[in-house]
Chain A
Amino acid sequence: MTVIEQALRKPSEVRLIPFLVAGDPDPDTTLDLLRLLDEEGVAVVELGVPYSDPLADGPVIQEAATRALTHGMNLSRVLALAKTARESGVRVPLVLFSYVNPLIQMGFERFAKAAREAGIDGVIVPDLPVEENEALRTACADHGLDVIPLVAPTSRERVRMIAEQGQGFVYCVSSLGTTGVRDGFSRDVDAFLEEVRRVSPVPTVIGFGISRPEHVRRFSRHADAVVVGSALVRLIGERRDALQHPAKREQALAEIRAFVRELKTE
């Protein structure tokens, strides 16, 4: 059982997986946020690699990625940032969320080795469906990195095939569309989650559009953990001036901590 799986099998009512865009608003803040999330006892952290053309993301994450890119963030620097976090004692399992092109340019083998050395535990590639991921899986297997597949409500007869490939966990997309806050969710999603759970050999996680404590509680009944991305990234984006202001930084971090605690409240 990998460390990601272990983290998702620990007894707990609510297991939270926050998503951060690495380098937004700046690398030092991302480090502080990683420490903060580790202290708050989240199950896993998803670290987003900023990309110029994030097809699967909505405007909030796209804008955060653009900010991070403006500050010169790239895949190598994200890995360096993860390594620094590990050296400063961050223990929570880390999953990289990256579009495939930066991985291709680094080379899958080089990436897998560097990611492992940086203390990354798994990788999610939103534009790499299972039919295309064999080369990445092979490279990652050599270095003990989980390749986490995504499954969508439109996957239909593909659900079993995808789930069977699950490593670490299977990422269930809550509804059609890109990442971003949604007002509500279809009732069908519960049945979809139960179906994935039935066929998956690893824990199941739900994400896309989950922003409020009541969503987290609701979905915790049908999945082993819940990802909160855009809502957190938006909060960080709104506090970015304060986060970069020495006198206001502590207060801004405290507000983010409060938001995470609220999400985790059982």
Chain B
Amino acid sequence: MKTELPLATQVDQNGRYGRFGGRFVPETLMYALNELETAFREAIADPAFHEELRTLLEEYSGRPTPLTYAQRLTEYVGGARLFLKREDLNHTGAHKINNTLGQALLAKRMGKKKLIAETGAGQHGVASATVAALLGMECKVFMGEEDVRRQQLNVFRMELLGAEVVPVRSGTRTLKDATSEAIRHWVTHVEDTFYMIGSVVGPHPYPEMVRTFQRVIGDEARSQFLYREHRLPDHVVACVGGGSNAIGMFAAFLADREVQLHGVEAAGHGLSTGQHAATLSQGKPGVLHGSFSYLLQDEHGQVIPAHSISAGLDYPGVGPEHAHLKETGRVRYTSVTDEEALDAVRLLCRTEGILPALESAHAVAEAVRLARTLPREQTVLICLSGRGDKDVETIRAEEAKRR
């Protein structure tokens, strides 16, 4: 790993980022979390592990992903210059592969052959199924029934890759309930099963581990940007559901105080409608899925279902490090509606020939809004976390509604 981060963003020995994080799980899992933390620390101190991961990232996933100057988009917007970090060009089409390769190699080191994962949009599920096939491991993916319906293509891809997709019928039948069900399965099979969490959420050491595996995004983007522009970007924008692509990107820039960081949540139908996934803007601190962070909840502490057109952002929680970055003011968190994200999809398609994932379109929308207010000398770097092939049906249905 590269430069050390400022202390304020380092996790402490209890897995806390400031007051956020920790381990709020059934006792049955505590031994497994301790075991995982030990294995993770040993792995990241082992040059052989880095070498194996680096080789897979380069030879299998296709890293480094390019930095693209979005010239036509910049001309259209008429403000700051816009750049894209192309995580959509990873194998399987999103940044999720960085983390699953890391965690699956760790599982292999620990001698575990059964992998489980939760998925919303299906990108983490597809990435999990992919690395399981690559490394010859069993894989079960928990997915809310509503997401199974919305993301049929990804369900088929996972099955084609040899994974078992388990539809989850409890609660809101989306990512929240898929995650709960994956944890329940893990509680039952903890002795031989490795749980690959797809975002910087969950009990310690998951947020730290996923951030470590996603940091490659920011490290690459930072050096690519310096190489091309001989300076750092003025603004960096990334979408935030659980927040893994954003943490991966931000991690490399946290110490660069002159770089302004923006996290974009899903405002769904609008913040005032109650149908959104803007956890940091509208939530309160609480515990969900093993960590203390911001959470959409009612006054009695019951979790409120989230809404977003993007299945990957449709989550009432958020990674604890984001909660800390919000409270310390290092990152500005804002939100973009379903409608604005759809407009951004169309805009990026027509100006750059790039179809972004609906998740990533939230970052594009905010970057465009921001760039308009800035002079031409300034630069905005967008984390384009994934490609939109999986969302084509959803987008088409929305376009049909508009007509």
Chain A residues in the interface with B (C-beta under 8 A) = 51-53, 55-56, 58-59, 62, 69, 74-76, 99-106, 126-129, 131-132, 149-156, 158, 162, 173, 176-178
Nearest 9 CB-CB pairings of A with B = A105-B301, A74-B300, A102-B301, A177-B188, A152-B28, A101-B301, A52-B302, A52-B303, A152-B27
A102 with B187: CB separation less than 8 A: no
Among B18-26, B119-127, B236-244, B374-382, the one that faces the other chain is: B18-26
CB distance from B312 to the nearest CB of A (A): 19
A240–B171 Cα distance when bound, in Å, is 21
Residues of B within 8 A of A162 (CB): 27
A150–B295 Cα distance when bound, in Å, is 26
B183 interface residue (CB < 8 Å to A): yes
A238–B272 Cα distance when bound, in Å, is 40
B308 interface residue (CB < 8 Å to A): no
Residues of A within 8 A of B180 (CB): 53, 55
CB distance from A227 to the nearest CB of B (A): 15
Q: How many A-B residue pairs have CB under 8 A?
A: 117
B190 interface residue (CB < 8 Å to A): yes
Chain B 25-44, CB-CB to A under 8 Å as 1, else 0, gives 11111111000000000000
Of B14, B30, B171, which one neighbours A155 at CB under 8 angstroms?
B30
Q: Given A52-B171, A100-B24, A154-B190, answer yes or no on A105-B286 (Cβ-Cβ < 8 Å).
A: yes
Residues of A within 8 A of B295 (CB): 101
Q: Given A53-B180, A102-B300, A106-B301, answer yes or no on A62-B170 (Cβ-Cβ < 8 Å).
A: yes
Known pairs A102-B301, A154-B30. 17 more at Cβ < 8 A? Answer: A53-B180, A75-B300, A101-B295, A101-B303, A104-B285, A105-B286, A105-B300, A126-B26, A150-B26, A152-B27, A153-B28, A154-B28, A154-B29, A154-B191, A155-B27, A162-B27, A176-B28
Can you give 5 contacting A-B residue pairs, CB < 8 Å?
A: A55-B25, A101-B286, A132-B23, A155-B27, A177-B28
B287 interface residue (CB < 8 Å to A): yes
A131 with B23: CB separation less than 8 A: yes
CB distance from A21 to the nearest CB of B (A): 14
A105–B286 Cα distance when bound, in Å, is 7
Of A102, A126, A152, A154, which one neighbours B302 at CB under 8 angstroms?
A102
A32–B30 Cα distance when bound, in Å, is 38
Residues of A within 8 A of B189 (CB): 176
B176 interface residue (CB < 8 Å to A): yes
Q: Given A101-B287, A176-B191, answer yes or no on A69-B302 (Cβ-Cβ < 8 Å).
A: yes
Residues of B within 8 A of A99 (CB): 287
A154 with B32: CB separation less than 8 A: yes
Residues of A within 8 A of B303 (CB): 52-53, 101
CB distance from A71 to the nearest CB of B (A): 13
Interface size, chain B (Cβ < 8 Å):
38
A105–B22 Cα distance when bound, in Å, is 17
B149 interface residue (CB < 8 Å to A): no
A75 with B301: CB separation less than 8 A: yes
B46 interface residue (CB < 8 Å to A): no
Of B22, B29, B302, which one neighbours A51 at CB under 8 angstroms?
B302
A110–B139 Cα distance when bound, in Å, is 45
A155 with B31: CB separation less than 8 A: yes
B317 nearest in chain A by CB position: A53
A128 with B24: CB separation less than 8 A: yes
Report which residue of B30, B187, B290 has the largest number of chain A beta carbons within 10 angstroms of its beta carbon. Answer: B30
Of A56, A69, A131, A149, which one neighbours B187 at CB under 8 angstroms?
A56
B184 with A178: CB separation less than 8 A: yes
CB distance from A228 to the nearest CB of B (A): 19
A234–B322 Cα distance when bound, in Å, is 41
A154 nearest in chain B by CB position: B31
A191–B362 Cα distance when bound, in Å, is 55
B51 interface residue (CB < 8 Å to A): no
A1–B150 Cα distance when bound, in Å, is 57
B286 with A104: CB separation less than 8 A: yes
CB distance from A211 to the nearest CB of B (A): 17
B288 interface residue (CB < 8 Å to A): yes
A51–B14 Cα distance when bound, in Å, is 26
A162–B302 Cα distance when bound, in Å, is 28
B176 with A129: CB separation less than 8 A: no
Residues of A within 8 A of B183 (CB): 55
Residues of B within 8 A of A127 (CB): 24-26, 287, 290
A173–B188 Cα distance when bound, in Å, is 12
Residues of B within 8 A of A153 (CB): 28
Of A104, A129, A155, which one neighbours B23 at CB under 8 angstroms?
A129
B285 nearest in chain A by CB position: A104
B399 interface residue (CB < 8 Å to A): no
Residues of B within 8 A of A74 (CB): 300, 302
Find residues 172-188 in chain B having any chain A CB closer than 8 Å to their own CB.
176, 180, 183-184, 187-188
CB distance from B197 to the nearest CB of A (A): 14
A101 with B288: CB separation less than 8 A: yes
B229 interface residue (CB < 8 Å to A): no
Report which residue of A58, A100, A101 has the largest number of chain B beta carbons within 10 angstroms of its beta carbon. Answer: A101
A153–B32 Cα distance when bound, in Å, is 12
A53–B300 Cα distance when bound, in Å, is 13
Of B31, B188, B301, which one neighbours A104 at CB under 8 angstroms?
B301
A152 with B26: CB separation less than 8 A: yes
